[in-house]
Amino acid sequence: MINLSQMLKELVRNIVGLAAVAVPISRRGPFRHVGGAARRAIRFDIWANPDSLLQMRKVRQQVAAARARHFLKGDIRMVGTNGKVARGTVDHNIAGARESADLDRPVVLVQVVSAIEKIRKNISNLDVLSVGPRSEIELFGIRAAGFSWNRIKAIDLFAYSPYVQTGDVHAIPFPDNSFDVVFLGWVLAYSKDQTGAIREVVRVLRPGGIAVVASDYSSEETHTRARVDSTHMQNSDQMLALFGEHAGYVYFRHDPQMPDIHMIMIAVEVRK
């Protein structure tokens, strides 16, 4: 099995070895006036905290792709689906994990929520759930923001990663009031019961917890594939309406500007 910690430490060894001999490179740009003591301190900090490498997008992408290639050769765990999941969802997303495990778009959700002061001030002590991450790169982005590994959970309809357990957003396998933040990125398009999915997100969030939800604009004209037989999402008002009376303060909202800008996103505090 590929161990993430060992993989990052090997990357650190390579980086530290390169930095030790490539003095001219380390003195370019903003590093030009950084002396040897400071450069040694930087190298030591990376060595002592290898997870900090996940803050680099290229590292997240390379590590996620390498681990996906390894784990997808073995058994893929799956959860039984019901009529609430759009047809073809699991096959479509397994194919996506094989072809684009390095797709780093979920990082925008993490960047938004980690900028909220009450999150930023206590980030390492908060419980987080990622719903439908597909590949590990979403989890790497969450960890890079400062959330603690032992407080990050993830569920998906299929799982190849040791960091992800099988589970359905329509029946989240955690007790009420378990999380401070729930990420739901590009999941609603696969739900035929979006209200029920958000009801479960609200259930597992603590009072005052934050739901971060993203989707892409869709309509009968833009999405005609057989798997998309759920309610189309077209603006943030529609997304917020799914929370009903539980929608509290809205920290962030983003609407599409078709045809070039597709993303819909909200970060909303849950009132219970």
**Which tens digits make up the pLDDT trace of 77-105?**
999 877 899 888 899 899 999 999 999 99
Mean pLDDT, the chain, integer: 89
CA-based Rg of the chain, rounded to a whole angstrom? 20
User: What percent of the chain clears pLDDT 90, i.e. is strictly above it?
Assistant: 70
Residue 13 to residue 113: CA distance in whole angstroms: 32
Q: Are 155 and 132 in contact (CB under 8 A)?
A: yes
Averaged pLDDT for residues 203-230: 79
Q: Are 85 and 190 in contact (CB under 8 A)?
A: yes
Nearest to 116 by CA among 248, 264, 239: 248
Averaged pLDDT for residues 228-242: 83
Of the pLDDT bands very low, low, confident and very high (cuts 50, 70, 90), residue 17 is low
Residue 42: the pLDDT is: 81
Residue 19 to residue 40: CA distance in whole angstroms: 9
Ranking 54-68, 73-87, 193-207 by mean pLDDT, the lowest is: 73-87
Residue 179: the pLDDT is: 98
Going from the C-alpha of 25 to that of each of 19, 34, 39, 72, the distances in angstroms are 8, 12, 12, 37
Domains in the chain (CATH in brackets) are 4-55 (no CATH), 77-270 (3.40.50.150)
Dig out the tokens for 206 from the structure.
């603590």
Averaged pLDDT for residues 57-62: 95
Buried b (16+ CB within 10 A) or exposed e, 44-58: eebeeebebbbeeee
